[in-house]
Chain A
Amino acid sequence: MPGNEVIQGLGLDDYKYGFVTDSEPVFRTRPGLDAEIVEQISARKDEPEWMLKRRLKALRIYESKPMPKWGGDLSELEDTLRQTYFYVKPQEQMERSWDDVPENIKETFERLGIPEAERKILAGVGAQYDSEMVYHSLKEEWEAKGVIFDSIEDGLKNHPELFRKHFGTVIPAADNKFAALNSAVWSGGSFVYIPPGVELETPLQAYFRVNQERLGQFERTLIIAGEGSRAHYIEGCTAPVYSTDSFHSGVIEIIVNRDAYFRYTTIQNWSNNMYNLVTQRALVHQGAHMEWLDGNLGSKLTMKYPSCYLMGEGAHGEILSIAYAGDGQHQDTGGKVIHVAPHTSSSIVSKSISKGTGRSSYRGLCKVYDGATNARSNVECDALLINETSRTDTFPYIEIDEKSATVGHEATVSKIGAEQLFYLMSRGMDEAEAMALIVRGFIEPIAKELPLEYAVELNRLIEMEMEGSVG
Chain B
Amino acid sequence: MDDAPILKVAGLRAKVADEDLEILKGVDLAIKPGEIHAIMGPNGSGKSTLAKVIAGHPAYEPTGGSVYFRGEDLLDMEPDERARAGVFMAFQYPVEIPGVSIANFLRTALQTRLEDGEELDLFDFQELLMERMEQLEMDPSFAQRPVNDGFSGGEKKRNEILQMAVLKPALAVMDETDSGLDIDALKIVANGVNTLRRESPDKSVLLITHYQRILNHIIPDVVHVIVNGRIVESGGPEVALELEARGYEEYRKAHAA
Contact = CB atoms under 8 A, between A and B. Distances in A.
B108 A426 contact: no
A426 B97 contact: no
Majority secondary structure, B binding face: mixed
B100 A441 contact: yes
A465 B105 CA distance: 20
Interface in A428-455: 428-431, 433-434, 437-438, 440-445
A150 to B, nearest CB: 39
A443 B80 CA distance: 24
B71 interface: no
Nearest to B147: A441
Contacts, number: 76
Interface in B36-76: 55-59
A437 B163 CA distance: 17
Nearest to B79: A425
Contacts of A433: 108, 112
Interface residues of A, number: 24
Interface string A99-132: 0000000000000000000000000000000000
B145 interface: no
A203 to B, nearest CB: 24
A442 B99 contact: yes
Q: Which of B79, B91, B94, B96 has the most CB of A within 10 A?
A: B79
A76 interface: no
Contacts of B95: 417, 419-420, 423
B99 A429 contact: no
A422 interface: yes
Contact of B99 (A417, A423, A443): A443
A429 B97 contact: no
Interface residues of B, number: 29
Contact of A437 (B55, B56, B82, B105): B105
A444 B79 contact: no
Given A438-B97, A441-B99, A442-B99, A426 B79 contact: yes
Given A418-B58, A427-B109, A441 B80 contact: no
A422 B60 CA distance: 12
A81 interface: no
B146 interface: yes
Contacts of A148: none
Contacts of B82: 426
Contacts of A418: 58-59
Contact of B112 (A420, A430, A442, A444): A430
Contact of B83 (A426, A438, A440, A443): A426
A442 B98 contact: yes
Nearest to A417: B95
Given A422-B57, A437-B108, A428 B100 contact: no
Interface in B159-195: 163, 167
Given A423-B91, A442-B98, 14 more contacts: A418-B59, A420-B96, A426-B79, A426-B88, A426-B91, A427-B105, A428-B109, A430-B112, A431-B80, A437-B100, A441-B98, A441-B100, A443-B99, A444-B100
The 4 closest A-B pairs by CB, nearest first: A441-B99, A444-B99, A441-B100, A428-B112
17 contacts: A418-B59, A420-B97, A422-B79, A423-B91, A425-B78, A426-B91, A427-B83, A427-B105, A428-B83, A428-B84, A429-B109, A431-B80, A433-B108, A437-B97, A441-B146, A444-B99, A445-B99
